[in-house]
Structure 1
């Protein structure tokens, strides 16, 4: 296929010539031609591209072909798209040609070599960030945290600034023991708590690298979950086996001969909903009968809205459940503070696996969190954010009921995200349209285990906690604009 397109200066303000040639479908050829135009410097940073409808008419291709090509290049960082300003070449994209704006010297080996094809650099984040996984960064309690930090440093003994304890500061483990028992129903003496930097760090400590961890695989996991956690397990040589989900959570009755299972029992991630009480009891019975363990990811257990709190699974059997939590959702992922509540027999092996001090969490941060918990500041912050996020959840549900009644909203009784169920076959187009409009969100398929045999519904996962308060309304408007019509 060989076709030339010359765009008129009146339409976008510049003359542009593209050669559409080579193997592949029309979408792939168009993407390749646009990349080459940017890479060679013929399309400079900030250059506005024609509307996809106009380009489609000029090329004689379907509008979706051009829209998908634009969306792909936006997602890769070559282009940016904003309402009112059109689609433009992204700032910061490097050129392989010497002397071009944004480029340096061409790499050895010629223009066609692999080294001469630099990776585009995204100049800025999306206009509207609705990805799951982070709280509202603007709501971090700076004044209260600063006060706790000052008090903690003033009260800290001199030995706190020495090598320290691999289990974590005693002050923090004492504070966590009281808080987790009161707020989450965890049965935890301080000497069973090991401080870590978050859930991924806990997984690395438990399963190690190359099969050298405290626990061994295979590990059963929920059919939907974070791909990053599966990557951590894979890097450790641990095979993960998916367990099917339904409206009652993981189908734990299908667990077999695995040595452990990883669950999100308070709020299944990302589909939503707690593990049914009968299945909570069932997985404990399975662990006892098999001599197995349950790894409990209690990632957002404090945030519930329309139901009573669901206590930690660990409370049913502290010798069979490893309870893992962190402040990533309640305070900030930047703090890198988490904890494991371990069966007594695993404390020593986990501390041995922790090893060098470089893997330990910051002692001043640990002391500050201990004060934050003991002073009641943590409880006050969680209650305040629970009300704020509930209000955001209600705004999302209300706007979708009015503007997109064909979309079903699920998993909203707790947590910081919702799942929007979409008509079959529309998930991919919605994710691409969102990227093209500068809306960052996650497709539900991205969280599905590659070996899961269950039917995969179409949907998107919306993190309603992520945008700052002043930008939330505009983010919802943009979201409604990319959803399929009813």
Structure 2
């Protein structure tokens, strides 16, 4: 398009839109302000702005540009000017017309060898080599992103069993009952309906008696730990004891919250409460009903010692992450049921339904409740109301309990398949924590452990298409080599094949 033609187009704009006293047009799309364009060069300016947005990723490949008539009206220019700008990008192969789908970004322009803006590549976890990163906070994220045919990572329930029909039916009923006002901002502490349902669920399943006013609805246990770290730090609490071995994710959350972590050993009786009491810890985070990753239960004497430590001023944070999933043992009461005034208790539906829901609960003793609610308010103004009301209906109607019974049967069958496969494919391996939960811990000890590096074993398995956690990821101090293997999310066939591949990788390492 020559300059005389463009000038004619812009002249028509002046005559048709920019009458005396009018303002230049602007668009929300890319925050375009036609008033910034040089006189006689508006087409060049618009094409340059679009090209820059594609280059820096603001307009990703697959993005659709506004219809030319729409953008022209917003910018208060002629449609021909916008069409010409689009045409220039089409001629260089950056956009293409797709009929009714409109004009779509199909390729980014060459960068001329310049590195892309944003974080340096070396700072990001490499999905192709998650075991090569030195930043332990990125380990699990990198493994999740890595390609793998069979995933035996711990932490996920049977996601294929998510009760879609029950959820949709509950959502329809909730929507039918909502008033327009219900779609506004909710209570940052959580909807009363869900807090009441949580109280009922915990009373029936965990022996906890609580008032709905003690419950704060949170975006999973991760947020609960973050809120508690913020509140405790404001009180001057910095030294937090953690189980060793213990959850890598828990350590990540607490360190991000500014806490100083003090590892306390775990043995067959659970966390060593004598070592806890002898150290400088002001608070402790633990998983007493099914310790992660060992699967041991905090025994009676240590529970009493822990509660004495709490009564003397220590803060106990109880992560009850998967206590509902048990197969071969009686239920274990929650610590919160024994000393409610000293125990902060947290749980979620991540292991009951799906982590994607980001719904959990935090029970806080009265002295810290207001501070936690305040922290939650400024974190996100509260969880989405609709999802809370749907979960409340599932809990109150008995649908969640029915779902739990259903997945327990499936999880037990998969647990049994993994135990058989380990016995056949990993001779000499010792299995821990089989009576409950969604994972097994496997250790290699004595002569069977000679020459085994569990990180190398997990990396070799990933090369063969199987994801698993090395036990060393979940340790602070050194200990026996091992693996942490999830069994809930895969089929029996996948579990059997995955453990067989682990056996192949192990034999290759042993030579």
Which TM bucket (shorter chain)?
0.7 to 0.9
Q: How does 1:257-272 map to 2 (within 5 A)?
A: 257-272=280-295
Q: How does 1:152-163 map to 2 (within 5 A)?
A: 152-163=174-185
Task: Please name the residue that 2:404 is paired with.
Answer: 382
Alpha-carbon separation, structure 2, partners of 1:472 and 1:147:
33
Alpha-carbon separation, structure 2, partners of 1:435 and 1:377:
38
Q: Is the 8 A contact 2:418 2:495 kept in 1?
A: no
Task: Please name the residue that 1:326 is paired with.
Answer: 348
Larger radius of gyration between Structure 1 and Structure 2:
2
Deviation at 1:411, TM superposition (A): 1.1
Q: Helix, strand or coil for the counterpart of 1:415?
A: coil
Q: Helix, strand or coil for the counterpart of 1:244?
A: strand
Which of 241, 246, 251 lines up with 1:230 in the alignment? 251
Task: Please name the residue that 1:285 is paired with.
Answer: 308
Alpha-carbon separation, structure 1, partners of 2:362 and 2:111:
50
Q: Is the 8 A contact 1:304 1:414 kept in 2?
A: yes
Task: Please name the residue that 2:433 is paired with.
Answer: 411
Q: Helix, strand or coil for the counterpart of 2:345?
A: strand
Q: Is the 8 A contact 1:273 1:413 kept in 2?
A: no
Task: Please name the residue that 1:310 is paired with.
Answer: 332
Find out whether 1:245 has 2:266 as its counterpart.
yes
Alpha-carbon separation, structure 2, partners of 1:399 and 1:386:
20
Alpha-carbon separation, structure 2, partners of 1:274 and 1:444:
19
Q: Helix, strand or coil for the counterpart of 1:242?
A: strand
Task: Please name the residue that 1:194 is paired with.
Answer: 216
Q: Are the structure 2 counterparts of residues 181 and 244 from structure 1 closer, same or farther at C-alpha, using a change threshold of 3 Å?
A: same
Q: Is the 8 A contact 2:127 2:147 kept in 1?
A: no
Unaligned runs of 5+ in 2: 1-106, 129-144
> What is the aligned residue count?
377
Q: How does 1:19-38 map to 2 (within 5 A)?
A: none
Alpha-carbon separation, structure 2, partners of 1:163 and 1:302:
32
Q: Give the aligned CA root-mean-square deviation in angstroms.
A: 2.7
Question: CA-to-partner distance for each residue in 1:80-134, whole Å, 9 max, x for gaps?
Answer: xxxxxxxxxxxxxxxxxxxxx9996454379xxx789998676973111000111
The TM-score normalised by the length of structure 2 is 0.69
Task: Please name the residue that 2:484 is paired with.
Answer: 461
Q: Is the 8 A contact 1:138 1:468 kept in 2?
A: no
Task: Please name the residue that 1:358 is paired with.
Answer: 380
Question: CA-to-partner distance for each residue in 1:405-427, whole Å, 9 max, x for gaps?
Answer: 32111111110000111232312
Find out whether 1:439 has 2:450 as its counterpart.
no
Q: How does 1:68-87 map to 2 (within 5 A)?
A: none
Q: Is the 8 A contact 1:430 1:484 kept in 2?
A: no
Q: Is the 8 A contact 2:190 2:216 kept in 1?
A: yes
Deviation at 1:467, TM superposition (A): 2.0
Q: Is the 8 A contact 2:455 2:472 kept in 1?
A: no
Deviation at 1:356, TM superposition (A): 3.3
Alpha-carbon separation, structure 2, partners of 1:443 and 1:103:
42
Alpha-carbon separation, structure 2, partners of 1:340 and 1:109:
45
Q: Helix, strand or coil for the counterpart of 2:259?
A: coil
Q: Helix, strand or coil for the counterpart of 2:431?
A: strand
Alpha-carbon separation, structure 1, partners of 2:264 and 2:146:
38
Alpha-carbon separation, structure 1, partners of 2:203 and 2:271:
25
Q: Is the 8 A contact 1:109 1:115 kept in 2?
A: no
The TM-score normalised by the length of structure 1 is 0.72
Alpha-carbon separation, structure 1, partners of 2:362 and 2:298:
21
Q: Are the structure 2 counterparts of residues 172 and 215 from structure 1 closer, same or farther at C-alpha, using a change threshold of 3 Å?
A: farther
Alpha-carbon separation, structure 2, partners of 1:429 and 1:475:
16
More deviation, 156-165/142-151: 156-165
Deviation at 1:484, TM superposition (A): 3.6
Deviation at 1:372, TM superposition (A): 0.4
Please identify runs of 4+ aligned residues in structure 1 that moved more than 4 A. 101-104, 114-124, 211-215
Q: Are the structure 2 counterparts of residues 201 and 359 from structure 1 closer, same or farther at C-alpha, using a change threshold of 3 Å?
A: farther
Find out whether 1:448 has 2:471 as its counterpart.
no
Q: How does 1:102-121 map to 2 (within 5 A)?
A: 105=111, 107-108=113-114
Which of 456, 470, 481 lines up with 2:504 in the alignment? 481
Find out whether 1:399 has 2:405 as its counterpart.
no
More deviation, 410-419/475-484: 475-484
Deviation at 1:361, TM superposition (A): 1.1
Alpha-carbon separation, structure 2, partners of 1:118 and 1:103:
24
Q: How does 1:45-56 map to 2 (within 5 A)?
A: none
Find out whether 1:429 has 2:456 as its counterpart.
yes
